[in-house]
Amino acid sequence: MSDNLKQVDLAKATLKVFTNQGEDLAEVRHVIHYFYGGNFPALESALKELGYTTRLTVKEDGVVAERHEAIGEEWRTTTLRNLCELADIYGVEYDGWEASMTRPKATQPSQKPSAWLSKIFGKKS
């Protein structure tokens, strides 16, 4: 197994963090992938064909690829595996991925606004 393909196994633990946080892995979210070294022009072209938006890293020593997609076990074993294999083809190090989590909905204050305002301003209700 190549070093890049090890990322597929590592992703299993990351996906577990998502599910432990109550995330629905079928939900489409923003996903970012990082690649370093190798043939950037060819890699970027291949990634664009797969629907990714690409850009060079700030130091121009890597490629960042982004798109919105659902993550989960099938994604891990197909899409992520394909990206790692693509990195191998172009002599690039696949340096992992990150994805957004949905933010919990804001909870409503337990007190009426007039009650907390009176505490702030020292007024009696």
Q: Is pLDDT of 62 > 60?
A: yes
Asked if 44 contacts 38 with a C-beta cutoff of 8 angstroms, the reply is no
Q: What are phi and psi of 122, to 5 degrees?
A: 75, 20
CATH topology of domain 6-121: Alpha-Beta Plaits (3.30.70)
Per-residue model confidence as pLDDT tens digits over 67-115: 999 999 999 999 999 999 999 999 999 999 999 987 655 455 555 555 5
Per-residue model confidence as pLDDT tens digits over 21-45: 999 999 999 999 999 988 999 999 9
Which positions ≥6 away from 71 have C-beta within 8 Å? 15, 18, 25, 29, 31, 99
> What tokens appear for 84 in the block?
């790692």
Burial of 122: CB neighbours in 10 Å, binned 0-12, 13-18, 19+: exposed
